[in-house]
């Protein structure tokens, strides 16, 4: 599978998990001792991109350069911050902002994924 599509697929998974985590945080805004959850993905992907390099072989006679990029899986992380006297660590304003950002990110990813598939479809069919 195309590595770009693989990365976008994992990013969509991360965005979906992030939406669930944010919704869960909002639902538990008044739960004593509840700590907000975050999704870690983009930082791990950046580390992999900076630590790995691979060339694209367009012919089997070309030498392989580097190794293929391992795509990390999204991870759910619990924060240890406390925002209220009851031990709750959810900031409702922050959660609403994160939800809006995540929604835009998800829409951008789905658009990009559709474009990648359109390019593949065009390359299979040809321009004719």
Instruction: Tell me phi and psi for residue 40, to 5 degrees.
Output: -105, 120
Q: How many domains does the chain have?
A: 1
Give the integer Cα–Cα distance in Å for 26 and 114.
31
pLDDT for residue 66: 62
For residue 73, the number of C-alpha atoms closer than 13 Å in the C-beta half-sphere is 2
List the domain range (segments joined by +) for residue 86. Answer: 3-125
pLDDT for residue 23: 97
Let me know: does 88 contact 34? Beta carbons within 8 Å.
Answer: yes
Report whether pLDDT(128) > 60. no
For residue 74, the number of C-alpha atoms closer than 13 Å in the C-beta half-sphere is 20
Q: What is the pTM of this model?
A: 0.77
Report whether pLDDT(50) > 70. no
CA 54 distance to own-chain centroid: 21
Strand partners, 52: none
Residue with tokens 């945080």: 25
pLDDT for residue 39: 95
Neighbours of 109 (CB within 10 A): 18
Report whether pLDDT(109) > 70. yes
Q: Which residue has the higher pLDDT, 53 or 1?
A: 53
Strand segments, DSSP code E, in the chain are 37-40, 75-78
- Give the pLDDT confidence of 60-102 residue by residue, as tens digits: 777 666 666 677 889 999 998 888 888 999 999 999 999 999 9
Give the integer Cα–Cα distance in Å for 126 and 117.
14
Q: What is the band of 53 on the pLDDT scale with cuts at 50, 70, 90?
A: low
Taking phi over 0 as left and psi of -120 to 50 as alpha, with beta for the rest, 42 belongs to: alpha
- Give the pLDDT confidence of 6-45 residue by residue, as tens digits: 888 999 999 999 999 999 999 999 999 999 999 998 888 7
């Amino acid at each position: 599978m195309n590595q770009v599509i693989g990365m976008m697929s994992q990013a969509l998974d991360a965005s979906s998990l992030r939406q669930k985590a944010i919704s869960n945080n909002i639902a538990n805004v008044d739960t004593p001792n509840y700590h907000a959850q975050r999704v870690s993905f983009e930082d791990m992907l950046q580390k992999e991109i900076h630590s790995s390099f691979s060339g694209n072989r367009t012919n089997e006679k070309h030498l392989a350069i580097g190794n293929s990029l391992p795509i990390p899986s999204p991870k759910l992380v619990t924060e240890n911050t406390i925002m209220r006297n009851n031990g709750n660590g959810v900031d409702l304003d922050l959660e609403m902002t994160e939800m809006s950002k995540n929604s835009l990110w998800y829409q951008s990813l789905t658009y990009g994924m559709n474009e990648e598939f359109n390019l593949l479809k065009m390359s299979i069919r040809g321009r004719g």
